[in-house]
């Protein structure tokens, strides 16, 4: 069951995190550079994985229900720990679909905790390094909260390669956007960045079946379990990490320890989710 998978996945990371030293968390923002440290990967997964898994599961479910082919090729930009890969797998299992999948996830960091599916490949590389051969046979491109991490030049290169190098008549995009309040469009980041890719596709005679500037969100922005019945985190996770400083074994009363700010809370609400599924057709 997906509920059991999600809780078990996060519990595995939590069990390892609870034995870590956390001082590095006090000086590190969660960004691409910080993810080279395992403890920051763990914090990211404990804080965000459950919510982002729900978001991606919903988009993959919508896509797979309407996908008519027997083979699916996916390219994920900034795949991180592979949360979208695992969401795809659970959708395939839950829907009982028999689809041959070829998934490639790229990221500049070789993350721990990635899945080990025979149909999934993870490459440690910059998105700017992709070639035409990487996009030629792709049906579905995924940007899991990663559009804001890509430079305009990189997004332009991605758009050019897809527009000129795709062998498909139809291509799809799953985009998930960064937000802390999805109801307010001014607080949703990533849509403007995707416009770089959209404009290049449009100028190359690709048309989108819907407006790429629109996005979806859950009208009930409260607890994720109201919208996703499989949402489940380990019961002990939130009480532990929101008092991480108290639980730290390295406290010595120093000024650095007194000023330490390593506590955090997992994302539990749907208001942090903003997403879209876009279809493009070659004219």
Residues 266 and 225: their CA atoms lie apart, in Å, by 14
User: How many Å from the N-terminal Cα to the C-terminal Cα in the chain?
Assistant: 42
Position 22 scores a pLDDT of: 80
Domains of the chain by range and CATH?
2-222+266-282 (3.40.50.150)
pLDDT one digit per residue (tens) for the chain, 283 residues: 999 999 999 999 999 998 767 877 766 566 777 888 898 999 999 999 999 999 999 999 999 999 999 999 999 999 999 999 999 999 999 999 999 999 999 999 999 999 999 999 999 999 999 999 999 999 999 999 999 999 999 999 999 999 999 999 999 999 999 999 999 999 999 999 999 999 999 999 999 999 999 999 999 989 999 999 999 999 999 999 998 888 777 777 777 777 778 889 999 999 999 999 999 999 9
111, 146 Cβ separation under 8 angstroms: no
Tell me which long-range contacts 224-227 makes (C-beta under 8 A, separation of at least 24). Answer: 224/50, 224/51, 224/54, 224/267, 224/268, 224/269, 224/270, 226/270, 227/54, 227/270
pTM: 0.95
């Amino acid at each position: 069951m997906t509920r059991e998978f999600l809780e078990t996945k996060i519990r595995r990371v939590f069990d390892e995190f609870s034995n870590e030293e956390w001082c590095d968390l006090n000086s590190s923002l969660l960004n691409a550079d910080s993810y080279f440290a395992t403890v920051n990967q763990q914090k990211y997964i404990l804080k965000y994985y459950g919510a982002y898994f729900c978001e991606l599961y919903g988009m993959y479910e919508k896509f797979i229900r309407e996908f008519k082919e027997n083979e699916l090729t996916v390219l994920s930009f900034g795949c991180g720990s592979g949360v979208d890969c695992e969401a795809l797998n659970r959708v395939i299992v839950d829907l009982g679909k028999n689809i041959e999948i070829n998934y490639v996830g790229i990221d500049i960091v070789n993350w721990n905790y990635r899945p080990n599916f025979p149909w999934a490949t993870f490459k440690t590389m910059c998105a700017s390094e992709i070639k035409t051969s990487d996009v030629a046979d792709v049906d579905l491109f995924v940007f899991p909260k990663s559009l804001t991490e890509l430079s305009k030049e990189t997004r332009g290169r991605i758009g050019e390669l897809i527009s000129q190098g795709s062998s498909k008549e139809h291509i799809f995009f799953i985009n998930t956007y960064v937000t802390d309040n999805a109801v307010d469009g001014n607080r949703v980041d990533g849509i403007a960045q995707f416009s770089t890719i959209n404009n290049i596709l449009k100028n190359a005679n690709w048309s989108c079946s819907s407006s790429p500037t629109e996005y979806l969100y859950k009208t009930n922005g409260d607890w994720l379990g109201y919208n996703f019945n499989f949402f489940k985190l380990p019961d002990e996770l939130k009480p532990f990490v929101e008092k991480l400083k108290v639980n730290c074994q390295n406290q010595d009363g120093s000024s650095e320890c007194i000023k330490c700010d390593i506590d955090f809370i997992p994302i539990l609400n749907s208001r942090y989710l903003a997403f879209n599924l876009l279809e493009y057709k070659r004219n």
